[in-house]
Structure 1
């Protein structure tokens, strides 16, 4: 069985994301938001997905793809018998007038490198997930595509006839393509693109220089940090789980979900990742998003929300081919209706830095005490309620160990805040909830396995149990922590070092692929319990599962090393960053500390 990888490069500017194939075609681009319909989406349908490409005239060609060092500027080089050329793709992003300039604009610079390359430029955007064909209006130096709420415009110095007639032409000088949604580019084309490119390169390289990253696999951490950064929708601060929708967790599994939303369960891990690299701006924006969500909550927090704070994310199936024929293609996500009670602890843990991180001002803590009390109240109300758990089972409700862990961790965070505020009532309630949650966690312990199971009364082990160590519930030096990890290794680890979430059947059968974030949790746990050499070895195995650009998917087939699931997966990159941080902190210390 051949190894499947997503041979795609990611570009973006925190207003939109796009995926570029090694043949230069734009496989995925949603405008005007991360969760909007695709403008180009042949990733999910070769006929309805539209096309934006700069292909060579010959069918036989070779290609290579790489990022300009320490940036999100992508280069694709194509060579055939006629010659060689490079397409540089980027989304402009840089500081301007005391704010970030991040237009809905994809820029393509096409340069001849050798010989006399002949290329064909195709631009055919679509609307409403391919069901709407746009009309075209030709002007002197641009083509307008009409039919959406705002105009899409292609501004170029390539003869428009070649693009409209899809004719090949000789590329004997640098050419430019600028595609915009809404506000068009009205300035000088070549000079403006070159200035935008210089400014964007400088922005990303400066951003990387401002990160705090150790020497431990620094290149991989930098690429993960750059990918994670792109998944923040800066307008609101939301951070989405992945760029795409409906890429299957395994072929034929029907586990095809829309991940272009913000999961509350990811909050703690994402904030930790940005804090670990010393980036406060992203943390602050994400806090603002969480704070906005909290003002809307009445009865309960949902597991996920839209990037604008939308609560209702009704799931629909579209009439599209699907990735490699994998149906259904879904937009929306019915998980918003699920009961997932760990979210309250996630919110509390997320609020803790407001009080312990001195970079936050006092006025930024306004109303946070009310949010704390609300989350504690919800923990108290749900303490004896089953839920769908971290993995969002659709038809299974249990008393999940992971939920109680975050009840405990959230209450523990509230204790620290109560101490800071000298609020005795909050401290008393938080301590009471910590004790109750600990009792529930201990009810999950199975002496025969020497491990905590996934739920009270269940015999099954779950990789989320690694968080009992990483969140500080279990003493990492204790025998129980060590035997717990060993039991999870025995039950869930593959010979390749990958980890399944669990191995028991769920709503869709038994999971076929491993979940990368769990594998990185395992690495973290190894580092924390003192198995540092094992942690380094397993980390080195995991970074071989990236694509050619260092980007990670959600899932990996252990037997073939194939990438599956939505891509790129922000959560997987968070896992890499946090695992590298744990190992680097251990490496920085003498053995006797």
Structure 2
């Protein structure tokens, strides 16, 4: 049974290692906004008008300052909850059962085709319907602004409540008696009720019929989107859920894809590793594009290409590791006066990693642009406009070949000559050489060949014959899960003894008995990492499949999917001892990892690569 308390008492920042922690929330979104809904049907997180805006509901980070939008049983009533998605959609249902009866809350963000474009308004629709008995419920709607520091004034009209004080009006349109909402009074749910919350343009149409039409159109959109996926039948359900989660992390207006929908959920309790992930990391470009390509979704790839191309045209001397969803380059980190998730502080917005030197990004850009030349779905103008960008990225690789950097994991006080960086110098120059040959550009081909050979020489300097493995950096004794990519990206022949030995060395150093993988085990700026990084575990599965250990790959994949929450959603980090979810949630790149690992196994199993 679940308590009727909307916000449970804060747990200590360092709970017992025997307690399993999971994020009991579901994700909805429409590529314009995202929201997280708890199992009690309260809204834990919703930022408007953009992914990276202040929350209007943020009780996830502060029960007192975070506002509230809840639909819960009458005061004092105990209840149980069942939460699920309508099959193959991002429409979330939460069924609540009390002693008096049962009701269902259907939550969704409208998205469907209209007038030859996608309709994706800043509109959050909640349908509340009685299912059994005579349940009594209470509805509270109290949005806030400026990360909880701004209270909004309220104006009551005939059929809606307007919340004022932000740049644009928030409006709640409902067929629930407004008195019950304003006074937060219990009432009997004896017919279906609708709540439509909007930012900016309000709902100017019949409430019930419009909400139902938007619901059916949204369900139809998502199911058609899933039907157009090209996937094998290896754990198809998990791949579909991961693809749906990844899709809504794309801010369609610009094409950017954010790492996660939240900020400041700790990588481990009490660790202070609490970061804002509502930005687009250039380092993850290759993996995202690979995931969309693997499921045959071209539109998302194309939008992301345009975002990258836009960033590339504004680069002045170097690429940053990450950018804002609008392409903003300054993401100044600030700490907020908020309680934090389960008391974990600090709460941060912005991300200082934008100031870091992370030189693998140039290779990421080159690998990302390669399909413009080898994939004939792209037309010539798109290719031509990118040729200059490729040349410039090669120049940046050459300029930074001798420059140490923060590496993939963004060490804040340590610069090294990282193997992973040289791997992307190698991959990026390899991609550029292919393009140069296709274009007949001899000068570009010569430069790419020179850089490819130099990157190879640097990678080999990371090889430690005593360990039989490549270390994380030249002259370093430490192993790092990022070097799994030496196998996955084809630098090491997966059939070679060196690839097999490298994988075994990483297993011995970084793998837990549960099959999870640490990024690394040596101390960094914040001490030794306490939790495993989920995407690294999926990289490990891919590597197993690559070297021919297919039975091991399938076994480890099956272990990893057990770390999803009740809806199949993945976090950034997992505590190997308890199976607890930690880090920002849902983590788009964990879902990318699942999708790519499933694809790799399906190919090895020689399954049909289509439905």
TM-score per shorter chain, which class?
over 0.9
Deviation track 1:266-294 (CA, whole Å, cap 9, x = no partner) reads 10000000000000000000000000000
Cα distance between partner residues in 2 of 1:348 and 1:15: 28
Superposed, which structure 2 residues align to 1:159-198 within 5 Å? Answer: 159-198=177-216
Report the Cα offset of residue 369 of structure 1.
1.0
TM-score normalized by the length of structure 1: 0.99
Report the Cα offset of residue 434 of structure 1.
0.5
Superposed, which structure 2 residues align to 1:3-402 within 5 Å? Answer: 3-57=20-74, 58-402=76-420
Structure 2 contact 232–607 (Cα < 8 Å) conserved: no
Deviation track 1:197-227 (CA, whole Å, cap 9, x = no partner) reads 0000000000000000111000000000000
Report the Cα offset of residue 322 of structure 1.
0.2
Deviation track 1:545-571 (CA, whole Å, cap 9, x = no partner) reads 000000000000000000000000000
Deviation track 1:38-89 (CA, whole Å, cap 9, x = no partner) reads 0000000000000001001143100010000000000000011110000000
Cα distance between partner residues in 2 of 1:528 and 1:454: 21
Aligned partner (choices 405, 429, 435) of residue 417 of structure 1: 435
Cα distance between partner residues in 1 of 2:426 and 2:560: 30
Instruction: Give the aligned partner of residue 554 of structure 2.
Output: 536
Q: Verify: 1:501 aligned to 2:501, yes or no.
A: no
Report the Cα offset of residue 589 of structure 1.
6.9
Write out the 4+ residue segments of structure 1 that deviate beyond 6 Å after TM superposition.
Answer: none
Cα distance between partner residues in 2 of 1:507 and 1:2: 27
What SS does structure 2 have at the residue aligned with 1:20? Answer: strand
Q: CA RMSD in A?
A: 0.7
What SS does structure 2 have at the residue aligned with 1:324? Answer: helix
Deviation track 1:213-271 (CA, whole Å, cap 9, x = no partner) reads 11100000000000000000000000000000000000000000000000000100000
Can you give the 5+ residue segments of structure 2 that lack an aligned partner in the other structure? 1-17
Report the Cα offset of residue 538 of structure 1.
0.2
Instruction: Give the aligned partner of residue 422 of structure 2.
Output: 404
Superposed, which structure 2 residues align to 1:515-526 within 5 Å? Answer: 515-526=533-544
Mean Cα deviation higher: 365-374 or 300-309: 365-374
Report the Cα offset of residue 399 of structure 1.
0.3
Deviation track 1:367-418 (CA, whole Å, cap 9, x = no partner) reads 2111011000000000011000000000000000000000000000001000
Instruction: Give the aligned partner of residue 586 of structure 1.
Output: 604
Cα distance between partner residues in 1 of 2:439 and 2:450: 18
Cα distance between partner residues in 1 of 2:127 and 2:284: 36
Aligned residues: 590
Cα distance between partner residues in 1 of 2:377 and 2:410: 35
Report the Cα offset of residue 364 of structure 1.
1.0
Report the Cα offset of residue 366 of structure 1.
2.7
Cα distance between partner residues in 1 of 2:55 and 2:284: 25
Instruction: Give the aligned partner of residue 450 of structure 2.
Output: 432
